[in-house]
Structure 1
Amino acid sequence: MDLSWLMVGEQPWYRMFNTSTQLLGVVVAFMISYLGFKAYRLTRDKKYKYFFIGFFFMGASFLANAVLNIIIQSGNIGYFLEKRYEPFIAPLFGGYYFLLIGMMLAYVSLAILYSGAGSSKNVGLFYFWALVIGAYSFKESVLFNTLCGMILSFVVLYSFDKYRANQNKSTLLTYLAFFCLFLFHALVWLQQVMPVFLIVRQIILLLGLVMLLAPMLRIFYGRKKK
């Protein structure tokens, strides 16, 4: 297993920034996941069940990525490569990719839920093809992020419709949060030609997670506006 590509291509300051923002993302994503679980128990709204599942996978994938960045930044990746400790590194990568696929399928669930297609007999087939395409694409960052962005675009459109129908702060924050998540995935194309978008994407992601956390807190503490 050739992992030597991990040792080149990024500046140390960026790895430090990336790791720090990902650790913050871990905290916020797990908070959203926990509140999604609590909100689902209170309301029995399936949307919050998918919040729980999706953001758990997101937080766990950020944590796995942060651990990898810390290993690389500390210089220990060379030790693992030299000693051929693939049995330690390979499962970490495998788990990371599994979590990313889980996050993508949670996006699919949210898109189905917001679109009202959950009662369709073809939902299972849609999940199957999403899993196949996702599993094929996750080795290529641009392709995987493009797929996630396409799925999230449906969630953005339907959450915007919810905002126009209800016109309250919670639905506005939810719409803006999903729009930020969409931008996080979509801007990967600009990142290929302008490395500064590495930082922009991380900031947008954190902003989106914080905006999504706010309405979840209102629901959990019983302050959601009717």
Structure 2
Amino acid sequence: MIRIVYAPQWFYGIDTIIESFSFLTALLIAYYAYKFYKFSFERKYKYFSLSFLALALGSLAKIAMNFTVYYPYIIKEQIGALNIDITGINKAMFYVIGFDAHRILMLFGLAGIYILLSKSKLKSQLILFTYFILLAALFSNNSYFIFYITMALFLGYIVFFYYKNYTLNPKNNKLILVALAFFMIFIAQLCFLTIFCWEHLYAIGGFFQLVGYIMLLYSYVSLVLPTRK
């Protein structure tokens, strides 16, 4: 069963702006990590770049999905001399494709960051994570809930990792900033998870996500600017 979740009407378009900001931030981090890889040839930067690229593409898929839901225009297809209006079925199909792509890419991105931070063997973990990601994203009747629970679990570990490293290196303020950024995104997932209790939690989660990505962008800028001086 497909369940389409609508944001509060006043939030239409705002969530797309937030998702666009998330997309650009993740893309910038992916680009910078790739530059690190080209400079050092350390594979961890390559996988870090790919992980954030997956997050960026996941946000892009959600942006496309939002347009099919919030802006219900009619798609016209010309076959010979006939103009055929395509509405409900195609709109639902585009939504499902966008939502599935969003879930798979976001889970792959966070799984990649998790594997890198946990220093697990990439090949042995990747097959297992691929199985669980596809199971959580596509093949469960409760895939919406499982998706956000899985997102929260990945993010919870990432927050724990950065906070633990901050306690070992308390002078490194960037670590606590990154930990707080991922914590904001973690709270956003909890809001999205409980949206059926109160629809405005979607908007609250969106603002938590925005704050998280602003903090990630600030961390990115504070890291990049000193290297360019």
Q: Tell me which interval the TM-score lies in, with the shorter structure as reference length.
A: 0.7 to 0.9
1:70 aligned to which of 67, 70, 95:
67
**Which amino acid letter does the alignment assign opposite residue 166 of structure 1?**
N
1:150 — aligned with what?
153
Please state if 1:186 is matched with 2:190. yes
Residues 55 and 103, structure 1, Cα contact 8 Å, conserved in 2: no
2:169 aligned to which of 166, 170, 181:
166
Greater helix proportion: 1
Deviation of 1:113 after TM superposition, in Å, equals 2.1
Greater strand proportion: 2
1:114 — aligned with what?
117
Please state if 1:137 is matched with 2:141. no
Deviation of 1:208 after TM superposition, in Å, equals 1.1
1:196 aligned to which of 190, 196, 200:
200
> Measured at CA, do residues 9 and 162 of structure 1 come closer, stay the same or move farther in structure 2, by a change above 3 Å?
closer
> Measured at CA, do residues 107 and 69 of structure 1 come closer, stay the same or move farther in structure 2, by a change above 3 Å?
closer
> Measured at CA, do residues 170 and 223 of structure 1 come closer, stay the same or move farther in structure 2, by a change above 3 Å?
farther
2:225 — aligned with what?
221
1:53 aligned to which of 41, 50, 59:
50
**CA distance in 2: counterparts of 1:147 and 1:107, whole angstroms:** 10
**CA distance in 2: counterparts of 1:38 and 1:74, whole angstroms:** 38
Please state if 1:205 is matched with 2:209. yes
1:16-60 Cα distance to aligned partner (Å, 9 max, x none): 222222222222222222222223334555554344222222222
1:24 aligned to which of 21, 26, 31:
21
Deviation of 1:72 after TM superposition, in Å, equals 2.9
Deviation of 1:11 after TM superposition, in Å, equals 4.3
**CA distance in 1: counterparts of 2:144 and 2:51, whole angstroms:** 19
> Measured at CA, do residues 182 and 11 of structure 1 come closer, stay the same or move farther in structure 2, by a change above 3 Å?
closer
2:35 — aligned with what?
38
Percentage identity across aligned positions? 19
1:15 — aligned with what?
12
Residues 29 and 55, structure 1, Cα contact 8 Å, conserved in 2: yes
Residues 37 and 43, structure 2, Cα contact 8 Å, conserved in 1: yes
Deviation of 1:203 after TM superposition, in Å, equals 1.1
* Partner SS for 2:130: helix
**Which amino acid letter does the alignment assign opposite residue 164 of structure 1?**
T
* TM-score (ref. length: structure 1): 0.78
1:70-128 Cα distance to aligned partner (Å, 9 max, x none): 2332322687996269679746743652353233123222222222333xxxx534322
> Measured at CA, do residues 161 and 77 of structure 1 come closer, stay the same or move farther in structure 2, by a change above 3 Å?
farther
**CA distance in 2: counterparts of 1:161 and 1:64, whole angstroms:** 33
Deviation of 1:147 after TM superposition, in Å, equals 0.9
**CA distance in 1: counterparts of 2:194 and 2:226, whole angstroms:** 41
Unaligned runs of 5+ in 1: none
**CA distance in 2: counterparts of 1:197 and 1:74, whole angstroms:** 22
* Stretch deviating more after TM superposition (109-118 or 80-89): 80-89
Residues 101 and 138, structure 1, Cα contact 8 Å, conserved in 2: yes
**Which amino acid letter does the alignment assign opposite residue 178 of structure 2?**
T
* Partner SS for 2:19: helix
Residues 21 and 206, structure 1, Cα contact 8 Å, conserved in 2: yes
Residues 64 and 92, structure 1, Cα contact 8 Å, conserved in 2: no
Residues 187 and 197, structure 1, Cα contact 8 Å, conserved in 2: yes
Residues 149 and 185, structure 1, Cα contact 8 Å, conserved in 2: yes
